[in-house]
Chains A and B, each alone.
Chain A
Amino acid sequence: MSALLLAESFAERGARERARALLDAQSFRELIGPFERLASPYLAAQGVVPQSDDGCVVARGTIGGKRACVVATDGRFLGGSVGEIGGAKIAGALELARRDAERGTPTRTVLALDTGGIRLQEANLGILAVTEICDAIVALRMLQPVVAVIAGRVGVYGGLSLSTALCSQIIVSEGARVGLNGPDVVETESGIEEMDSSDRPLIWRVTGGRMRFEQGFATALVADDVEAIRAAVQHAFEAPRELGPLEPQAFPDPRLDLDTFLRAMGIES
């Protein structure tokens, strides 16, 4: 209980505060901030109120004293969905980081993603943005680690889960989720026998951070604690551990009852 009270939650912060938390104290400097008013031009026409930063924060600063850039999506605004503007901010930051690396002034780049994926209201532009982000990640990770932090309330689903999988380092929290199709989509498409989207323990048994770490999809599993996540990010840059090819592994059926599943996974409940 005392540990719970002492921990400073990362998940409870908004995107801007998450970026601030990952950068060294006092080093946060936002690029294309809310007063630039680069909001989505497509939402209002569809009856949705836009947000002045399009739910995506890009911030420069330092991490461990080294030049850094943190990109954070805000899971509270339209599920952290990525449209044209937010997507361009992410891809632009990655492309500038590649240019920096090529010029010999590397910029530590962190993607703190909390997103349901491509924004449905901007479907094709969102898909285009994800392809640009994927391209930019692949180009940058040839030169330096690209670190993803998945530790928000939404996690990462949809198109951005593909981008996440391309990162060289993936830090997940136990409360976060990583998956391609969300539970509702799986239930709709494949039936409730395949996935009961109201069964939250089942959702975490399939897509939760611990499961993804055990499966080898993530390089680090962290508590929902700002200091722990900061330490994991620094470690990711200082002692990079590339994700190898995934070996086929046998995992217990997540649809078993919870206790049986946890015992089979060797996790104490």
Chain B
Amino acid sequence: MIETLSYEYPASDAVDRRAHVGVVASGNCEILLEPARNGNASVVVRTSVTGFGATWNAVLARFFVRNPVAVQIEINDFGATPAVVALRLEQALEAAR
């Protein structure tokens, strides 16, 4: 079963371009990041590992506290650990700036 999770966070900063990083492989995830038009940050996660909604929220909330960027993010996850997700998010943002 796949779980689909949606999150929204306040944001203030703009990014220049979209970015694509990662791969849907064991312990890894793919991230598509695009500038958002509505000034908010929104994230949709599709994951094969169910029941970790609170953990996703913790990782994402921390990322957006540090980087309040108005982006639309889509994550296709294949069991990435929170550390891997955090690194992929930073990588995507670096590529988008």
Is residue A48 within 8 Å, beta carbon to beta carbon, of the partner chain? yes
Q: Is the interface of B mostly helix, strand, loop or mixed?
A: strand
| Contact call A49/B25, Cβ cutoff below 8 A | no
Q: Is the interface of A mostly helix, strand, loop or mixed?
A: loop
Residues of A near B18 (CB, < 8 A) are 35
Given contacts A44-B46, A49-B2, contact A77 B20 (CB under 8 A): no
Shortest CB-to-CB span from A129 to chain B, Å, is 19
3 smallest CB-CB distances across A and B, nearest first, come from A76-B25, A51-B24, A34-B20
Q: What separation, in Å, do the CA atoms of A49 and B49 have in the docked complex?
A: 10
- A-B pairs with beta carbons under 8 A, tally: 45
Interface size on A, residues (CB 8 A): 16
Residues of A near B47 (CB, < 8 A) are 49
| Contact call B46/A52, Cβ cutoff below 8 A | no
| Contact call A52/B20, Cβ cutoff below 8 A | yes
Among A44, A47, A52, the residue within 8 A (CB) of B32 is: A52
Shortest CB-to-CB span from A39 to chain B, Å, is 8
| Contact call A52/B76, Cβ cutoff below 8 A | yes
| Contact call B20/A49, Cβ cutoff below 8 A | no
Can you name 15 A-B residue pairings with CB atoms under 8 Å? Answer: A33-B20, A35-B18, A35-B34, A48-B48, A49-B46, A49-B47, A49-B76, A50-B46, A51-B23, A51-B30, A52-B20, A52-B32, A76-B23, A76-B28, A78-B24
